[in-house]
Amino acid sequence: MVESRRDEALARLAAGSDPIFRQAASAEQSDSALAQPNALEVADLWFDIFRSTEAPLERHALASHALPFYASAKNSAKGLELRKIEQRLELLNLIISEAESMSGNVEPETK
């Protein structure tokens, strides 16, 4: 997504009526969204939405969106937190890989 369109979409979600999307988008909009522990908080918020979504295209989009936040959080995580992040990265990469192989793209996001 083009940066300005992404920012516009986040602003709309942050101002929207759905409290779950509003919370995730607002957390992501913070200046320190990729800093630990904020990256993990943002990733977990998007992952919660991912878990509650059944539509395959939405799941792919949410998995792709949460993945870089988990990757960022992984850099400074330890112990159980690191294990949780690794498990979620594995699941998100699997979802992305499956969706992309069905559409003809076979390269998953980076871990």
pLDDT tens digits, residue range 50-87? 999 999 999 999 999 999 999 999 998 999 999 999 99
pLDDT tens for each residue of 4-16: 688 899 899 999 9
Helices (H) and strands (E) in the chain, counts: 5, 0
Write down how long the chain is: 111
Kindly state the tokens that stand for 62. Answer: 């949410």
- The model's pTM: 0.81
Give, in order, the Cα–Cα distances in Å from 55 to each of 45, 66, 105: 18, 16, 19
Q: Taking the mean position of all CA atoms in its chain, how far away is CA 8? A: 17
